[in-house]
Amino acid sequence: MKTILDLENWNRKEHFKHFSQMEEPFFGATVTIDCTTAYQNAKKLNTSFFIYYLHKTLVAVNTIENFKYRISDDKIYINGRVDASATIGREDGTFGFSLMEYHPDFKIFEQNALAEIERIQNTTGIFTREFKDDNVIHFSAIPWLNFTSLSHARSFTYPDSCPKISFGKMISSDNGKRSIAMSVHVHHGLMDGLHVGKFVDCFQDLMNHPLEK
């Protein structure tokens, strides 16, 4: 389900019109995330760290409303739920675009994600399914690089307002702390640095949350 944002009475109406006229309306930032507790939690759950932080990403995305906004025909729609189109690697070095449906219950999300990963790994090519809706984030993991910035291949003529979130290589320090780079690219017509900051803070809080006994 999605609803139309009341653009005429939105306090960012002029911001939306200004940035939507640009050839490249996206802006981004790369931040360092402390993943010490999150990595320990994933190990305790005997689950994939990738699936674990993907789920935390989607929880944060579905918490910060501006990350649920999408543009279509000069209108802004608010999605009731946002999923992830994550790149999933294969043994031959290629990858395919997946659809990871968000569910607040991690166990349900994990089960569905594992099935989707297996499906992708048994297909070929980059597009292995249709994406009829744009209620997704574009998600990728680049575990070979401890990057400090990141750019994305993008067609300026193709209408796109989906946030793009990428993670780098997990780094361990001598004191036992673990960190990971997270890159966030978003449409400036839909949000500003304030909203990206709220998203990062929300995500970091989720990653810091200890498992309940």
> Which domains are assigned to the chain?
2-18+27-208 (3.30.559.10)
213 confidence band (pLDDT: 50, 70, 90): low
Active-site residue, selected from the candidate residues 18, 188, 195, 209: 188
Tokens representing 116?
A: 């989707």
Give the model confidence (pLDDT) of 30-42 as tens digits.
999 999 999 999 9
The whole-model pTM stands at 0.96
Contacts 24+ apart (CB under 8 A), 48-55: 48/110, 48/114, 49/170, 50/141, 51/109, 51/110, 51/113, 51/114, 52/106, 53/167, 53/180, 53/207, 54/84, 54/86, 54/100, 54/113, 54/139, 55/106, 55/109, 55/110, 55/113
- pLDDT of 47 > 80? The answer is yes
More confident residue, 76 or 130: 76
The yes-or-no answer on residue 209 being catalytic is: no
Give the model confidence (pLDDT) of 121-174 as tens digits.
999 999 988 888 899 999 999 999 999 999 999 888 888 999 999 999 999 998
